[in-house]
Each structure stands twice: as C-alpha cells, then as structure tokens.
A and B are shown apart, each in its own frame.
Chain A
Amino acid sequence: MLRATLAFAYYKLRTRPEFFISGFFLVALSFLVLTPLVEIIRDALTYQSYDLAYRPAAEEGAFTTFHLERVFTGRLSKALFVKPMINSLMIGAGVTVLGVIIGSILAFLLVRTDIAFRPFFGSLVVVPYMMPSWVMALAWLVLFKNDRIGGAEGMVTYFFGIQPPDWISYGIVPIVICLALHYYAFAFLLVSGALMTVDSELEEAGAVAGMARWQRMIRITMPLLLPALGSAVVLTFIRSLGTFGTPALLGLPVRFFTLSTQIFNSLNARNSGDGFVLALVLVVMAAAFIYANTRIVGVRKSFVTLTGKGFRQRPIPLGAWRWPLTVLVGLFIASTIFLPMILLLWESLVFTPGDYSFNNMTTYFWIGSGGEIDLAHGEAGLFINDRFLSALWNSVRLGFSAAGVNGLLGLLVGYAIVRTRGTAMSRGLESIAFAPYIFPSIALGAIYIGMFSTSYGPIPALYGTFFLLILITVVKNLPFTSRTGIAAMHQIDKSLEEAARAQGIGWFRRMSKIIVPLSTSGIMAGMLLTFITAMRELSLIILLVTPSTQVLAGLIFGFNDQDQTQHAAAATLVLVLIVIAVNILVRRVFGAASLMGLRQT
C-alpha cells in the first residue's frame, strides 16, 4: 500500500507538475507575504533594542504594549498618529473623489461620444500614470515654490513677483491635486473598460422600452458601471494612502505628515516599533476598505475584468459642445503630460535657481564636470555623474529583473492555479498571490525592513542588498502578474495541452512549445507593468535602499532634499523618457493589448 502511494506521488511529480508548482508557490509565497506580517506584529508588541533608551529597565523581546501606547494614547499620539491619520484620510478621500470624477468623465467622453481625436487622446490619457506619481509634485514646486523654506522660489514668483500662499505651495491642496492628476488613470481605465463592454444594444433595448436617454443612463448603464467604479474607488484610495513621494515633497517641508511619511520618519529616527504600528494601521485600513467594497458591490462583481470584446458602439453626438470639449480635454492632457515635462526641462537648464530668464540657462547640470563646492554640492552633470549613472543602472536592472521574475511567476502561478482549478490548493494560491494588494507600498517596505534586517530562518540578512529590492518589487507586483497569468492561461484551451500529452510530448516541451508561445502577449503585458512600476517606484523601496543600491527614484528624492532641483528635474526627465520608451517599444512589438494588465485590476 505504501509502495503504491509512493508510486502515485512519483507519477504526479513526473507528469502533473502543476500540483507541485502549486504547492511550492503556496509555501514560498506564504513565507514572503504572511510571515513578514506576523513578524512586524511581533516586533510591534515586544521591546526592541532601541527601546531600551526610553525604558532602561525593559527586557529586549519581552511582551509590551509600549509601542501601541506611544502611538495611540501617549503624549506623542497626536503628532504620531492622529494628525497623520486625519491627513491621510483627507488625502485619500480627496484624491479618490477628484480622480474618479476626472477619470470617469474622460472615459465617458473618449468612449461614448463623438469628441474629436478620440484614438489620439485615448493613447495619451494614461501616460501620466506611467510616470512616477511625484513628477507632478516636482513640477508643482517648479511653478509654486515660495520662500517659506530655503532655496530659490518658483516661476510664479519670478514672473509675477508674488509669493504664492503656503496653502498653494505646500500641504493638502497641492498633494490632492497632484495625486489626482496621476491616479485618475485607474478610474479612466476601469470605467472606459466597462463602458466598452456595455452593449449599445442594451441601451437601445431600453430606448425601445420607452426610456428617455437619462433614464437609460441611470437604469441600465450605471448599474453596469458600478463594479468598475467600486474597483476604481478602492484602488485609488489604497494607492493614495500608501503613496510616499508626493506627500513627502509637498508635505514634509511644512511638517505636514501623513501616515506614509510618518512611517518613513519613525523608521529613519530608529523608532521602528512606532513605524510598524503605523504600517499595521495602513494595512488594516486597506483591508477594511477592500472588504467593504466586496460586501457592497458583491464579491463576484467587485473586480472587473475585460473581455476585450468590442461591442457595437454608437457615439453620442455632442453637437455644439464638441469642439469646446475637445479643446478642454486637449488642454487637460497637455497640462498633465507636456507641461510637467517642459517645466522640468526648463528647471534642469536653470543656472542660478529661481532665475528663469533665457540668459540664465545652462547645460551644466546635464554635462557639467562638477567639483565646484558652492554649486549643487559639487555634483557633476548627470551624464558624467557616477551617482546618477549607478542609480540609473540599478533602476534598469531592477526593472528588468523584477519584470523577468514576475513574468516567470505569472506564467507558472497562472498555470498552476488554472490547471488545479477547483482544489483548495488552487484557491489558496490565488488568495496568497493576491494578498500583497492589501499592503500599501510604504507599509510593505516597513514590513520587509522588519523581517529582513537580520537573518530569518534559512534566509540571511537581506537589508542593503539589491536582491531585497527585487524581492519586494516582485512581491508587490504579484497580484497583477498572477492575474495576467491566470487570464493568459484561460485563453489556452486545456485540450491543446492534452493533445500534446497524447502525442507523447513531455511537460517541459509542452510548456516551451505550446503554453509559453500562446501566453506571450499576456505575460509580456504583465512584465511591462512590472517594469514601469519598478522603474518609478519610490514608496515601496525608499525605506530599503542604501547608497550602493540607490535607484533613480530614490536619488531624485535625495537631490530634491539637498535642494539640487536642477539635478532632480533632469534625472526625472530621464526616468520618464525611459519608461515611456519601453512602453512604446513593447506596445509596438506585442500589440496594444499590453496595457491589459492595468485594466484587469
């Protein structure tokens, strides 16, 4: 009997690897996703070595509510928790409302109406999302920086001679605007996807039934859009909660803290326990929000997937509004894409900060040799700057490695989930792969610091290694890649593989000859997404980078911190150009479906 059981196990190993792939990833991903969470909960509830400064009598590792008290009830609670929490919620709410409104309006105009240049606008309107979210914040500072903190002032002061008030230069207003101009892409993609799948015939059926246009909109189209809107709200809210770059650039100078910047602050000040508690708060908030959404919209409908099936759409004529609206959309796109680029380019060419005249222009910050101490701390121009070049190399390396690993993971995890469908293993793996979704980026970074700063089980201390950056990027992108992988596998009928089995073709060859070629475009879309995310990511890795593993986004943040605005602007331009170039390249090669991954959230 035992022999028979062993023979069966061996058989499965040899011919049904999906079960072992499933099992392997279930264990590996649980370790990468769940143990960190357990770890920071433990760290948050025990004394750490650095706590001994406050509590000399305490014993390291002993249970304590010290961190909880400090954050939630103590003297510092207001500064540590209450204010940042309120700020985060206000930003989350503001960005969500503004972003979803902008995105939905654009989606409606570009999908359902006869507005001019639809295809052109359609391809440009998601470009802001490809850029790092804080590009807009940098551009904002170029325009509106005032004399509140040191350094030169922005263009408004230069050209008009007025000081923008603080609430325009810094704080919640610019943060919400800048983030909304980035995250509206979620609502745009999800709503336009839903609108494209709403069959005109459904609405026409309503028309036949005697409904007026607005009734059809409310009774038929809106309910079909609701799941998409729900997803957009959740996605936008969670992302704006977890984002670090924009609130740091526009908030920290005036000591306006959000949960994410406060986590950064605490961990930097070596009060990790506080940081961990705050990270947990973020995770719980995100999880609660996702839960509420699935309860309200319904589990099945809460995540919209696109069939990609194009229905016959009858554009709604805008009549006299057509050209005014076209101009408006054109202006919007120009001000979200081209204006920031132009501002950053201009800024990068300014010799004496704050002087935007033509005579003051220089290429020094691009190609200058550096060495002059009073000029940008002696930093050389970008193209001969070792710090920049190594960060650039690191970013590209990170982008490609993470994309490669994610592509492979998407393929294998998708394959394993789809092929073992119906088993507990399949469901487990799917949930685990989706779990990183609920960790706001900054919180995941904090969690990974907590876990990997010392050796953990079989894993050596990874803090400070480049590998850790790849690891966290891969894990953070897992929900998207596994979804694209699953979608790609669903396209491949099971019988295609079974026909090959019957022909005597073994597993590796089936994968390489049939599964991989047939899923390439879907997997590539997932990889592109990972690449873009990895290249521009700041929130996720800001806590984990060290000088030797510095990436572009981190370096730019550093430049800005040191008031090297020209360097920051120039490096940002390079980063944006790379991301857009890779995107265009992949789209050329693998077709327009490449942005599919975005839509499937």
Chain B
Amino acid sequence: MEDIRLTGVRKTYGKEVAVENMDLLVEPGDFLTILGPSGCGKTTTLRLIAGLEEPDRGEIHLADRLVFSREQGVIVPPENRNLGLIFQSYALWPHMTVRRNITLGLEHARLPREKIDRRLQQALEKVQLEELRDRYPSELSGGQQQRVAVARLIAMAPTILLMDEPLSNLDAMLRVDMRGELRRLHKDLEATTVYVTHDQVEALTLSDTVVVMDKAVVQQQASPYDIYHRPASLFVAEFVGNPRINRLDGMVRGGNGETTVDFGDVSVPFDANLNVRNGSVVATLRPEAIQLSKTEKEGWLKVRIDAVQPTGSETVIKTSSDRLKLTVLQPGFFQMATDEPLWLRFEAESLNFFDSETGKNLAA
C-alpha cells in the first residue's frame, strides 16, 4: 500500500496543461522530492494532493482512502485530509501571535485545553522558540518565521507533509541549517513527505525518492543515485548536476563484429542490441567522470583549455578538441594557463546513451 497515490491525474488552467496524466506513488514514511524547472507543474501537483485544486480527471488516494474521483463523485476537502502544508511564504497569520498561530487549528479540532497546551509546548521546544511565543510574525526574522510554520505543523501532527519550496526565501547559510531541520521533522513525525523544489542540491541531499518533472509531465521517479547516474531522459541528465553534464553527439558504426559510437575524435564500444534510429545517438558524460593528465598518454584525447574556473574545493575546466567540447570537474584548486595542452580519458561505462529524437535513455 502507498500513502499517496495519484493515477492518471490531469489538471488544466484554461488551455494550459499544468499537470498531464500523472501517476505518482509515495510509500509510507518516504521523503519524496518533486524537482523541475519553473512552471513545470510542481506546485500544482502539491495543491492537487492537498485538495486546494481539483483535477480534471484521475484519482487520488491518501492512505488508502479515495479522496478524489470525479467519476465516482468522491471529493474530500483539504480540511479533512489531515495534511500538513508549508508554503513558500510560510502563510503565518499576521494578526495572531506565535502561540495563536500554533493553537488555532488545535482549538478548532476541539482538543482539551491541557492537550493543546502540551502540544504547543512541545512544538515550541522542538523549534526552540519558547521565548518568542507572544511575538507577532512581523516581529520575527525569516528563519524564525519558518520555524513557526514548522511548529504549527508539528502541533497538528499530520501523517502527510507537503512543502512547497519552504527554503527559497532564506539566505544560503540558513538554508543549509533548515534543510537538516526539515529532514528531522520528517523523521520525528514519521510523516510521508512531498517536498517541492527547483534546487537540485536540496532534492538530492534530502530525499529518499526524487521525481523530476518537465512541462507538466513526470520524467523520472527514482532514488537520488539513479536520477544522477541513470537519468531516464536527456532532460533529466541535463537538469540534474552542476556543472552541466557533457553532451556528445555520435554516430553508431557497425562492422567486423564490433559496434562502436563515433564522436569524431573518439569512439567507444556500443551495445549492438540497443535500438538506434538512423544511426545517431546522444551520449552524456558527467564532468567528474573524466580523468585528466598534463602529460601526453597513449590513447588519451588531446584537448585545449578554454577556461579554468576554480570554486575553492573544486575546479571546473572547460576544454575542447577539434570536434568535442568537454567540461571537466577536478577536486582541488587548479591554476592552469589556457595555452597548455591537456589529455583526457573516460570509461565507456560512464556514458549514458539517448535517442537523438525522443531523448529517452536507450538502456531504459
């Protein structure tokens, strides 16, 4: 059984399709991240799960309960879905103190006074805001507001947590701290979590499962490792990873028992069983999968250096040969003159091959 199940869900706004034919399964206790570029339908997906929007068609189950089906006339409002929701803007009620922000939902649920007080106390302790309980949201810093929003969730103890870019309003340092706190919140509440972001680092570090979306369509749902190493499509390969993945256009050549892909300056062996159209494929290669030598070596590819960009712990080196442009990522702080030659090599296994027209991973 899954905690969240979307089957064939579609949502349009007028002519614009925001979510197309989506199937999504989230296991209980899973931390799932929806990753994608701006406007791809991440927020819409989250709002569909929350019940703040209604799909045009499809079904939604939460914890094995059908909460939406137009065909069957079933629709459970957000009020009754027992969800926790964190917005990008935090959505704290500005006219209420921190305490009231946290207790309003509890009071509405008609919990006894002592229980409300206890939950309030616990939630405030968790986020270390006990002293600020009588402040108004406008008297808090961004990070503190964020923590109030978290405390409001903790107090309600929902079984499903939905977060829409909760960290995007924070500065870089705070973001890293809060990332850890959100992960802990997920663990403490043992809640199934759907987390929306367009920040791939957040997605890869936080989640058990990543869903990559583009243009209203799910491109891939997999573990962070697989998303990174076995992208289902060229889009996923290029969207995830920094610096951007190397893209090589090649032609498949058969002959005397061995099939190879020819990239112009180099060629690598190729699995003849893969179904290739017109003989052309696109390969991708992670910048860190490329080895580099300052001295000439037999069989290595000689390249020129176009640019060297040290970031501190790593250095990005942009190179080019006659036919290829390759970005290389090396650990450490490198300084190199751009007129020096370099020699590169990579393992054929590091490559992923994609259909040159559909962008689908040929191995998938």
Contacts and interface: CB of A to CB of B under 8 A. Distances in A.
Interface of A: 3-8, 11, 14-15, 493, 495-496, 498-506, 509, 513-514, 517-518
A514 to B, nearest CB: 6
Contacts of B72: 4
B55 interface: no
Contacts of B95: 517-518
A15 B77 contact: yes
Interface string B83-110: 1110101011111000000001100110
Central interface residue in B50, B104, B162, by most chain A CB within 10 Å: B104
A496 B50 CA distance: 15
Contacts of B71: 4
A283 to B, nearest CB: 35
Given A4-B73, A14-B77, A518-B95, A506 B108 contact: yes
B11 interface: no
Central interface residue in B84, B93, B94, by most chain A CB within 10 Å: B93
Given A4-B73, A499-B93, 5 more contacts: A502-B79, A502-B83, A502-B84, A502-B162, A518-B95
Interface in B56-86: 70-75, 77-85
A22 B69 CA distance: 26
A505 B77 contact: no
A48 B156 CA distance: 68
B65 to A, nearest CB: 15
Central interface residue in A5, A7, A499, A509, by most chain B CB within 10 Å: A499
Contacts of B75: 7-8, 11
Contact of A503 (B52, B74, B89, B156): B156
A7 B74 contact: yes
Interface in B130-147: none
Nearest to A513: B104
A505 B108 contact: yes
A503 B91 contact: no
8 contacts: A7-B74, A8-B75, A493-B91, A496-B91, A498-B91, A500-B93, A505-B104, A505-B105
Central interface residue in A500, A503, A518, by most chain B CB within 10 Å: A503
Central interface residue in A3, A15, A509, by most chain B CB within 10 Å: A15
A209 B75 CA distance: 61
A244 B2 CA distance: 72
B5 interface: no
B152 interface: yes
Interface string B13-53: 00000000000000000000000000000000000001110
A443 B9 CA distance: 54
Contacts of A506: 79, 108
Contacts of A504: 79-80, 82, 105, 108-109, 156
A495 B91 contact: yes
Query: Which 7 residue pairs across A and B have the least CB separation, nearest first?
Result: A4-B73, A7-B73, A503-B105, A499-B91, A502-B85, A495-B91, A15-B77
Nearest to A518: B95
A162 B81 CA distance: 84
A3 B73 contact: yes
A4 B82 CA distance: 23
Contacts of A8: 70, 73, 75
Nearest to A9: B73
Contacts of A493: 89, 91
Nearest to A496: B91
Nearest to B162: A502
A495 B89 contact: yes
A517 B93 CA distance: 10
Contacts of A11: 75, 77
B93 A503 contact: no
Nearest to A498: B52
Contacts of B85: 498-499, 502
A503 B107 CA distance: 11
A503 B152 contact: yes
Contacts of B92: 499
Given A495-B87, A496-B93, A513-B104, A502 B73 contact: no
A368 B162 CA distance: 74
A14 B104 CA distance: 21
Interface string B189-224: 000000000000000000000000000000000000
A15 B70 contact: no
Contacts of B105: 500, 503-505
B88 to A, nearest CB: 8
A458 B109 CA distance: 42
Given A495-B87, A498-B87, A503 B77 contact: no
A500 B108 CA distance: 10
Contacts of A500: 93, 104-105
A504 B51 CA distance: 12
Nearest to A509: B108
A501 B77 contact: yes
Contacts of B52: 498, 501-502
Contacts of A5: 73
A501 B108 contact: no
Contacts of A498: 50, 52, 78, 85, 87, 91
A499 B94 CA distance: 12
B102 to A, nearest CB: 10
A416 B321 CA distance: 63
A28 B108 CA distance: 33
Contacts of B82: 504
B51 to A, nearest CB: 8
Contacts of A517: 95
A232 to B, nearest CB: 34
A280 to B, nearest CB: 39
Interface in B295-317: none
Interface in B149-172: 152, 156, 162
A6 B73 CA distance: 8
Given A5-B73, A7-B73, A500-B104, A505 B91 contact: no
B16 to A, nearest CB: 12
Contacts of A505: 79, 104-105, 108
B352 to A, nearest CB: 40
Contacts of B51: 501
A501 B93 CA distance: 13
A571 B279 CA distance: 97
Central interface residue in B81, B83, B108, by most chain A CB within 10 Å: B108
Contacts of A15: 77, 79
Contacts of A502: 50, 52, 78-79, 81, 83-85, 162
Contacts of B94: 496, 518
Contacts of B89: 493, 495
A222 B336 CA distance: 59
Nearest to A2: B73
Contacts of A496: 91, 93-94
Central interface residue in A7, A14, A502, A513, by most chain B CB within 10 Å: A502
B73 A499 contact: no
Contacts of A499: 85, 87, 91-93, 152
Contacts of B104: 500, 503, 505, 513
B14 to A, nearest CB: 8
B11 to A, nearest CB: 15
Contacts of B74: 7
